Amino acid sequence: MPTVSAAPPQPQPQPQTKPLEQMLIALHEIVGLDASRGLTQCNRNPKLYVSLLGKFVKAQEHTLENIRQALADGDAGTAQRLAHTLKGLCASMGAEPLRQTLLEIEQAVREGRNTDDIEGLIVPASAELTTLFASLRGALGLNQGPAAARPAQAGLAAPEVATSA
C-alpha cells in the first residue's frame, strides 16, 4: 500500500519587530520625552522601559476623554484620580512637559475650577498626548505590519524586543 506523505508545514510569518537598539535611538529623538530619565526610572532596563511605553500607549489612549466625561458627570474625584495617574505615568516615562500640563489639570480639578477653565488645559494636553502617542508608536514599531495587530497576543503592549547582545 503506497504511503502518502503530508506536505511539510509552512513556516509561520514572524511579526516585524524593531531591534531594541533602534527603538532606544528613536525614543531619544522624541521631543518632550527624556528617555534617559525614563530608563533610569526603569532601573536602566531597556526591555522594561520599552514594554512599559507600549503598555502606556495602549492603556492611556482615552484617559483625557475619560477625564472630560467624569467632569461632565459631575465626578470630580474620578477626573482628579485619572489626571493624577496619567501625570505619574508621564513622570515615570520621562515625559516632563506633559507631566507638568497634567499637574495643572489635576490642580484645577482639585480646586473646583469651572469646566471651561479645565477644558482650556485639556485641549493642549490632548494635542501633546496625541503627538507623544504617535511618536511612541513609530519609535516602538507599533504601526508596522503584523506586529501592530499582535501585541496583546504576545502578552506585551510593545512588540517583542529583539536584542543583538
Considering Cα of 84, then 98, then 108, then 58, what sign does the dihedral take?
A: negative
Average pLDDT taken over every residue of the chain: 84
Higher-scoring residue by pLDDT: 140, 146: 140
Binned at pLDDT 50, 70 and 90, residue 162 comes out as: very low
Distances (CA, A) of 146 to 30, 105, 106, 134, 154: 24, 37, 38, 18, 12
Query: How far apart are alpha carbons 80 and 108 in whole angstroms?
Result: 9
Mean pLDDT score, 41-62: 95
> What is the CA 34 to chain-centroid distance, rounded?
14
For 151, list phi and psi in degrees, rounded to 5: -55, -40
Q: What is the mean pLDDT of residues 56-74?
A: 96
So what's the pLDDT on residue 5?
56
Q: Rounded to whole angstroms, how far apart are CA atoms 24 and 18?
A: 10
Q: What is the pLDDT of residues 70-105, one digit of tens each?
A: 999 999 999 999 999 999 999 999 999 999 999 999
Given CATH 1.20.120.160, say whether it is the number of domain 36-141.
yes
**Helix pair angle (46-59, 20-28), 10° resolution:** 70
Predicted model pTM: 0.75
In 3D space, the residue among 132, 135, 140, 139 whose CA is nearest the CA of residue 99 turns out to be 132
Domain extents in the chain: 36-141
Band the pLDDT of 18: cuts 50, 70, 90: confident
Mean pLDDT of the 122-135 span: 96
Cell numbers found for residue 112 = 473646583
What does the pLDDT read at residue 143?
75
Determine the pLDDT at residue 9. 61
CA distance 33 to 13: 33
Residue 159 has a pLDDT of 41
First-to-last C-alpha distance (Å) of the chain:
53
With 80 as the cut, is the pLDDT of residue 134 above it? yes
pLDDT for position 132: 96
**β-bridge partners, 71:** none
